[in-house]
Structure 1
Amino acid sequence: MAGRGTGTRAWRAAGVGLVALGLLASGCGSGDGGSGGKTEIRYSWWGAQHRADLIKKTIALFEKKHPDIKVKADFQEYEDFWKKFNTQAAGGNPPDVFQNSHAFLRKYDKKNVLLDLKPQVEQGNLKTDDFRNGLEKAGEVDGKLLGIPVGANTFGLFYNTEEYKKAGVTPKDGWTWKDYYAGIEKISKGSGKLAGDSGNASVMYLYDLVLRQQDKAFFTEDGLGFSKADLKKWWADNLRRTKAGHFTSPKKVQQARPKPALSGKLSAGEFSWDNFLVRYTSETDASIDLAPIPTTDGKRTGQYLSSLMLSGSARTKHRAEVAKFIDFMVHDPEVGKIMGYDRGVLATEPQFEAYRPKGVDKEIADYEERVKDRIEPITPHPAGADIVEAAFLRIGDEVLIGSTSVDDGVDKFFSEAETALGS
């Protein structure tokens, strides 16, 4: 899941705060209506002030074209958003429509929080055509439509072009992990101060790609899709490369937060979602580019499109208005021009065609064009996946720092994951 204003480890670290959060009740509500006979709906999202400024412009446009509906806006940073959302939902007063992601669909559906939007499609209040790359199915869970994508992104390797050039390392389509690790070893030895990579052990989404290349996955619909032996090898290999200096010391990564290791000039490369190129290029004067994901067999990257979405509250009193609002936000061309790629590459053809990317946004669009033929269906995320991700981040860092052995870390992770996924 990605959004402007957060870095790879920064946004994953923020997710750790969600572990202690729980939805105590599934009651949902909505405003009773706005002043002057207008229907009022509440819309909440996470993100920085820049995103808020853009979204408020789109709300003003919606209200101009739908004068009978008033939209009350609310936003917080990522962790604060979920704290407030859980509190509101527990009190029976969540927002009518809110920003969501694939990772949370099963969790909140299990708690009866999310509105099934399929009836609104059938009633003509919401369209699911004109989506790019099959994204109209991204919000489908167990026969229900629980979210509508507003943007999408995929994983990539961000790298310091000067450091790669000095070391004679050239990323290319179909390169293997063997090629990649040989390259970062050359960079680490040649630079004298930079590690070749920011560190991989606790990046759940990257490990998922590695597993998918081997016909496995991080998650199945019911639980984990890999064994303890798989994880022991992954963490042991990462620990060995960290000790050799090919990966950035996790202690240095933690000290640099919230700035990522790449833009903090601690490493020459880092894996993350492609639209994070905006942040990396804004935080450093170094030249940063996007490279393809290394492969196991020279062909399959395991990549998929992840998406930020809009979801509705299951007990909103204004289902039709919520559906019309979501429809407007994902289809209206003017909204696409305003939002650009703030929440990922635009999800529908009308918005994608309306926005003409320049600079960094064009680089992101070009990257997605290059990898579009490699895109596969997204890995299912069961309820509790967010807690599992936080555990993977925390324990993976403990293993790399050396405060937990590989064997103990694997046992600890599987124990915590089984508890989270079984709850």
Structure 2
Amino acid sequence: MHPTMRTPRRRLLRGLAVAAMALPIALGAAACGDDESGGSTDPNAPVKLSVFYWGSEARAKLTEEALNAYKAKHSNVEFEVTWQANQGYADKLATLAAGGDVPDLFALDDNMLADFATRNVTADLTEAKSSGKIDTSKFPPSLVEYGTVDGKFVGVAAGENTPGLVYNKTLVTKNGLPEPQTGWTWDQFIDWAAQVTTKTKVPGTMDPSADYKAFWVWLRQQGKDLYNGKQLGFTAEDLTKWFTLWKGARDKKATPTADVIHEGNVTDISKQLVVTGKAATSWVWANQMPELKKNTKDELGVVAYPGDPSGQWARAAMYWSVARSSEKKDTAIDVINFLVNDQAAVNILGTDRGLPSNLDLRTKFAETVTDPNMKLSIQLENDLASKFGKAPQVPPKGHSTFRSELVKAAENVQFGRATPEKAAADLIALVQPKLG
């Protein structure tokens, strides 16, 4: 491992503490300096690029390998990489931004994209896209659209993903029950889950009423959307129907009890209920199949969320963005283009950040895959590709508030602390003023 590729978490935390006191930190030093400017007319001039993202140890290893592959072609480029767990990532990036120390290249998701774009933290990459410096010509159109905020292209999809219902295939088949199917209605799925509970004594499904992904897909199938500009795209009546749907499922014993549902709401991917044996189905991202399988001996399956598949769309699992303040934008842009459009990089990164965004390279990558669970993820995404609906707008600033408040509201209903009507009305009254 190259010494500039290893930045311990303690170093990050020390750096953030210093940033809070408005003093220079290591990342800021790396992001500045005329001698390291990416705008140098000499293509061989030394460049040190700071990179910041979140993820697991496995993701860190893959990312390091991909960046080393870039460095093998550009020996003048060094990387100073910092990574951490997802929790607290946005807050730490905001701290760096407040101190003027934004890393040159950093990761965002749709929970953060509009927030940092409207703060002018992200560079406008429209010219880089139109000139081909970042080639998106082989991307599904919705992946490109979904990285655009207020007319500016600010996020390049690191991979494509879609929500998936991951179920315990071993449990279902050994008990003579049918496997769930893409295209089932919500009522069909809930009835199936109740049958699973009755036959196996394992609750048929995790209750997803606190899951914004599931609610969003359900809304789109009703002809609504999560947002309309800087306003919520649904009414209290819509949310009441959603909470009522899952109250009915709990009454049928299709889901676990409220305390176990809460556990499913707060656990990481390695402890989802489908692998801990506390539910037969979990509502996750399709590309998480391989990681889930590591935590169970049972065979797993994956299908789309219930209802019309056109309610789903090709989503960016994560974006790469460039700091507006970076003096090395050209290098950062070239690194992004390499990560998404170089076959070697795509093969290294696999599906860790979703399926490769470049459809041609995705096809070639799929031919090399041996992991049966990764194959299932790819198959689901490919099967849905022709059924995906148009991408919605990127969520506005305040989306993170909606996500956290949805969990609280849903759990208030699950624990009997509020009726569906009261929980829905309270959420809308709290969230709407915080949007935009």
Match of 1:322 among 332, 335, 341: 332
Structure 1 counterpart of 2:189, which letter? Y
Q: Does 1:39 align with 2:47?
A: yes
Indicate how the Cα distance of structure 1 residues 397 and 301 shifts in structure 2: closer, same or farther if over 3 A, else same. Answer: farther
Q: Distance in 2 between matches of 1:124 and 1:239?
A: 50
5 Å-filtered alignment, 1:190-229, equals 190-192=199-201, 194-229=202-237
How is 1:219-368 mapped onto 2 (pairs within 5 angstroms)?
A: 219-255=227-263, 257-258=267-268, 259-295=271-307, 299-307=308-316, 308-355=318-365, 356-359=368-371, 360-368=373-381
Q: Is the 8 A contact 1:220 1:382 kept in 2?
A: no
Measure how far apart 1:114 and its partner are. Answer: 0.9
Q: What is the aligned-residue identity percentage?
A: 22
Query: How many pairs were matched up?
Result: 393
Indicate the larger mover: 122-131 or 359-368. Answer: 122-131
> 1:319 offset after TM fit, Å?
1.5
Which residue in 2 is equivalent to 1:10?
A: none
Moved more, 261-270 or 403-412: 403-412
Answer whether contact 2:197 2:253 (CA < 8 A) is retained.
yes
For residue 398 of structure 2, what is the amino acid of its counterpart?
G
Distance 1:38 1:339 in 2: 26
What's the TM-score, normalizing by structure 2? 0.84
SS at match of 2:88: helix
Mapped partners of 2:240, 2:313: distance in 1: 25
**Equivalent residue in structure 1 for 2:415, among 401, 407, 412:** 401
Query: 1:357-394: CA deviations, max 9, x gaps?
Result: 22221111111121111111222211111211111122
Q: Distance in 2 between matches of 1:301 and 1:290?
A: 17
Change (3 A) 1:167 1:408: farther
Q: Take 1:393 and 1:79, find their aligned partners in 2: how far apart are those partners? A: 16
Gaps of 5+ in 1: 1-22
Q: What's the TM-score once normalised by structure 1's chain length?
A: 0.87
Distance 1:266 1:113, change over 3 A: same
Q: Does 1:86 align with 2:94?
A: yes
Deviation >6 Å, runs of 4+: none
Asked if structure 2 preserves the Cα contact closer than 8 Å seen for 1:102 and 1:306, the reply is no
How much does 1:303 deviate?
0.8
Measured in 1, the distance between the counterparts of 2:406 and 2:331 equals 39
347-356 vs 383-392, greater mean Cα deviation: 347-356
Distance (Å, rounded) in 2 between the aligned partners of 1:354 and 1:301: 26
Alpha-carbon RMSD across the aligned residues, in angstroms, is 2.3
SS at match of 1:357: coil
Distance 2:252 2:77 in 1: 60
| Alpha-carbon contact 1:275-1:364 (below 8 Å) kept | yes
Moved more, 273-282 or 249-258: 249-258
Q: Which residue is 1:420 aligned to? A: 434
Q: Quote the offset at 1:354 in angstroms.
A: 4.0
Question: Does the aligned pair in 1 maintain the 2:142–2:313 contact within 8 Å?
Answer: no
Instruction: Give the AA of the match of 1:76.
Output: Q
Q: Which 5+ residue runs of structure 2 have no aligned equivalent?
A: 1-19, 38-43
Distance in 1 between residues matched to 2:112 and 2:198, nearest whole Å: 41
Give me the whole-angstrom Cα distance separating, in 2, the residues matched to 1:72 and 1:108: 22
Q: Report how far residue 133 of structure 1 moved.
A: 5.6
User: Which position in structure 1 is the counterpart of 2:14?
Assistant: none
Equivalent residues of 1:357, 1:365 under 8 A apart: no
Assess, with a 3 A threshold, how the Cα gap between structure 1 residues 188 and 74 changes in structure 2: closer, same or farther.
same
Matches of 2:335 and 2:370 in 1, distance apart?
A: 28
Give secondary structure in 1 for the equivalent of 2:206. Answer: coil
TM alignment of 1:367-382, pairs within 5 A: 367-380=380-393, 381-382=395-396
1:387 aligns with 2:389: no
- Give, as a single letter, the amino acid of the residue that structure 2 aligns with 1:384: G
CA-CA distance at 1:176 after TM superposition: 1.6
